[in-house]
Amino acid sequence: MDSKIIKKEKLLSLLERFIADYHVLAPVREDGVLFYRPVDIPGDIELNPGRSVLPPKGRLFPQTEALYGYRVEGEKLTLNEYVEEERQVVLFGVHPCDLRSFAVLDAVFLEEPRDAYFAARRNNTVLVGVSCSSVLPECFCTTYGISPVEGNGADIHLTDVGAGAYLVEILTPRGKDLLQKFESFFEDNVAGAAEAKRAKEASLVKKISLQVKVDGLHEKMASIFENPYWEKLSRRCLGCGVCTYVCPTCHCFDIMDDGTKEEGERFRCWDSCLFREYTLHTSGHNPRHALAQRLRNRFFHKLSYNNQRYNTEGCVGCGRCVALCPVNIDIREVIGTVRGLV
């Protein structure tokens, strides 16, 4: 791993060069709310972003995407498959928890048979991570062994080390390739920066208010599948699906056709296991007809199923669902209750 320093004004110039050569997606504020968007002006980018409302997973797994178009002319069927654009994408400003979520998505979409659409985007994306500069009340990444300053999963990782300087860690050959023609933007003297990063980590970790433990939980969850706790918890759930839409690791989708029998498009869009239609069979039978069953499924997926199937945690402790659930269903409290029941 190679490390360098870049000053803030040089970082803005570097981003300008990225914008000229690549398609850049980065955190920007829209009406005060943070989203990852295509960027044309470096000054629009939040260099030390807080938590975005929607996670950056949308770059790899868009909320809605057309898979292919179809046209039927007499006996002839033509499929027009949509392919990833050729220009490389730089996804800038991804926090450590969201970096970890990409590993969760990789396990799902890149296992055989691979999802060609996800794989093409993954292959064409350079990930630039950024250390957190603050901790929000709902953050609990450390539960999953994630440090708020780590760059695991990124190609390049930035940490604001104060005095207008950023520590730049070049973590993969892809990251090295991206930066090699911009060497003049960097300084080599990183003395003190690693220490500043460690101090930042210690200060941020101390601010994480609620510590919960998940060790060994996934193996014990089966014993409380039928526990009345799920029905009780579901009495205040609205079934709105917000918790799943804002989650960086949720990956369920629906596939639909839009068009006529002569021509149209097949597309997919995010789905939610909280919705009644999610498991509704054509026959009318629904194996998860009650909201309690659907809410239980969500927590089992996060705390048990994902671990059993992919050997990765299904949650990264980003806190989005905690912050945005309209009835304050808090996964940290659920974990605490479940630990007492198993």
- Of 337, 230, 223, nearest to 274 by C-alpha is 230
The neighbour count for residue 333, using CB atoms within 10 Å, is 14
Confirm or reject binding of residue 331 to ligand SF4 (CB under 6 A). Answer: yes
Q: What share of the chain is helix, strand, coil (3-state, %, to 5)?
A: 40, 25, 40
Q: Which of 214, 329, 334, 335 binds ligand SF4 (CB under 6 A)?
A: 329
| Contact region with ligand SF4 (CB under 6 A), list: 4-12, 45-53, 255-263, 313-321 | 313-321
Encoded tokens for 94:
């991804």
Question: How far, rounded to the nearest angstrom, does the alpha carbon of residue 43 sit from its chain's CA centroid?
Answer: 24
Q: Name residue, tokens 């479940």.
A: 338
- Of 248, 324, 205, 237, nearest to 61 by C-alpha is 248
**How many chain residues bind ligand SF4 (CB under 6 A)?**
25
- Of 146, 157, 153, nearest to 317 by C-alpha is 146
Nearer to ligand SF4, 26 or 214 (CB): 214
Confirm or reject binding of residue 321 to ligand SF4 (CB under 6 A). Answer: yes
Confirm or reject binding of residue 274 to ligand SF4 (CB under 6 A). Answer: yes
| Contact region with ligand SF4 (CB under 6 A), list: 8-16, 189-197, 224-232, 320-328 | 320-328
Confirm or reject binding of residue 317 to ligand SF4 (CB under 6 A). Answer: yes
Q: Residue 262 half-sphere exposure, CB side, CA atoms within 13 Å?
A: 2
Q: What is the CA radius of gyration of the chain?
A: 22
Q: Which of 185, 242, 293, 305 binds ligand SF4 (CB under 6 A)?
A: 242
Confirm or reject binding of residue 301 to ligand SF4 (CB under 6 A). Answer: no
- Smallest distance from ligand SF4 to CB 224, Å: 18
Q: Which of 10, 157, 296, 302 binds ligand SF4 (CB under 6 A)?
A: 302
Encoded tokens for 191:
């003395």
**Interacting residues with ligand SF4 between 4 and 63 (CB under 6 A):** none
The answer to whether 280 and 286 have CB atoms below 8 angstroms apart is: yes
Q: Name residue, tokens 């398609």.
A: 23
Q: Which of 158, 237, 292, 338 binds ligand SF4 (CB under 6 A)?
A: 237
Confirm or reject binding of residue 318 to ligand SF4 (CB under 6 A). Answer: yes
Determine the Cα–Cα distance for residues 19 and 27; give it in Å rounded to an integer.
14
Confirm or reject binding of residue 212 to ligand SF4 (CB under 6 A). Answer: no
Confirm or reject binding of residue 241 to ligand SF4 (CB under 6 A). Answer: yes
- Smallest distance from ligand SF4 to CB 176, Å: 30
The residue type of 50 is: G
Positions that interact with ligand SF4 (CB under 6 A): 237-243, 246-249, 274, 302, 315-321, 325-327, 329, 331
